[in-house]
Amino acid sequence: MTRILAITNQKGGVGKTTTGVNLAASLAAARRRTLLVDLDPQGNATMGSGVEKRNLAATVYQVLLGEKRIADVRVRSEQGEYDLIPANRDLAGAEVELVEIERRETRLKDALEEIASDYDFILIDCPPALNLLTVNGLAAAQALIIPMQCEYYALEGLSDLVQTIKQVRGHLNPALEIEGLLRTMYDPRNTLAQQVSAQLVEHFGAKVYRTVIPRNIRLAEAPSHGMPALKFERHSKGAEAYLALAGEMLNRAAAVQ
């Protein structure tokens, strides 16, 4: 059974892409067949996977518009040892062009059905917006991973997201669940971070991953070398945290079965 997870939070810079790249590499290291889908015109997940976004003949953009089969735009992240559906700036136009197209919210879902059986995990890196691209991500996913920084406005942003999830359940994807909330860039010495973290656990209980991603410079440096932290510096705190997250996800899944 393929597990399809969208990594989403409409707030920018909370660690969505860092989570996409490093979790994909960690699941691959655990011998799970993994696909990462870049659904952001910024193309950060593409670059972070070691794939030059400017040299691509085709991306997820052509897939969403029905101009290419998804299998034909798929590339390999050699550094991450997972497959990638890349994106670049072309995708910025998709928002407008999709409006004219039938079943515009489920273009990605329909495309993924063609290749889903090749994978144990498909991770979708969503852009920082509640737009039609994100809706495609939410419609295609079975569940959501929500990275968040434990700061003052984090919980407020979360209630917007919970509203969106309710709408998507109503219209497009009744079974959509929250897989987990992930505390990112965490500094345990920061009192506010501790308080927000405690509130998060109070509200969402076991939905909050026990694994916490610390603020770690290697996680920020690795993308400029086009590799996950696991490859860049295996024993960094950041790489180890994402390996632990993959372990926690796999254990949870095993406990459910």
Ligand X SMILES: Nc1ncnc2c1ncn2[C@@H]1O[C@H](COP(=O)(O)OP(=O)(O)OP(=O)(O)O)[C@@H](O)[C@H]1O
Distance CA 201, CA 219 (A): 25
Distance CA 36, CA 160 (A): 25
Distance CA 161, CA 181 (A): 12
Residue choice 8, 44, 46, 211 for contact with ligand X (CB under 6 A): 44
Q: Does residue number 181 form part of the binding site for ligand X (CB under 6 A)?
A: no
Q: Does residue number 243 form part of the binding site for ligand X (CB under 6 A)?
A: no
Q: Does residue number 188 form part of the binding site for ligand X (CB under 6 A)?
A: no
Q: Does residue number 84 form part of the binding site for ligand X (CB under 6 A)?
A: no
Residue choice 216, 226, 232, 233 for contact with ligand X (CB under 6 A): 216
Contact present, 200 and 155 (Cβ < 8 Å)? yes
User: In the beta sheet, which residues pair with residue 35?
Assistant: 83, 122
Q: Does residue number 53 form part of the binding site for Mg ion (CB under 5 A)?
A: no
Q: Does residue number 93 form part of the binding site for ligand X (CB under 6 A)?
A: no
Candidates 90-98, 100-108, 158-166, 217-225: pick the segment binding ligand X (CB under 6 A).
217-225
Which of Mg ion, ligand X, none sits in contact with 18, Cβ below 5 to 8 A by type?
ligand X
Residue choice 70, 94, 213, 243 for contact with ligand X (CB under 6 A): 213
All residues at 6 or more sequence positions from 91 whose CB lies less than 8 Å from its CB, including other chains: 39, 40, 41, 43, 59, 60, 61, 64, 133
Q: Does residue number 11 form part of the binding site for Mg ion (CB under 5 A)?
A: no
Of residues 133 and 168, the one with the C-beta less far from ligand X: 133
Per-residue burial over 146-177, b = 16 or more CB atoms within 10 Å of its CB, e = otherwise: bbbbbeeebeebbeebeeebeebeeebbeebe
Sheet bearing 121-125, strands edge to edge: 75-77, 82-85, 34-38, 121-125, 3-7, 143-149, 177-184
Residue choice 8, 10, 17, 26 for contact with Mg ion (CB under 5 A): 17
As measured in angstroms, the least distance from the Cβ of 99 to ligand X is 23
Over the window 115 to 154, marking each residue x when it contacts Mg ion by CB under 5 A and - when it does not, the resulting string is ----------------------------------------
Q: Does residue number 16 form part of the binding site for Mg ion (CB under 5 A)?
A: yes
Of residues 120 and 221, the one with the C-beta less far from Mg ion: 221
Q: Tell me the site size for ligand X, rule CB under 6 A.
A: 20
Residues that bind ligand X (CB under 6 A): 12-18, 40, 42, 44, 128, 184-185, 213, 215-216, 219-220, 223, 238
Residues that bind Mg ion (CB under 5 A): 16-17, 44
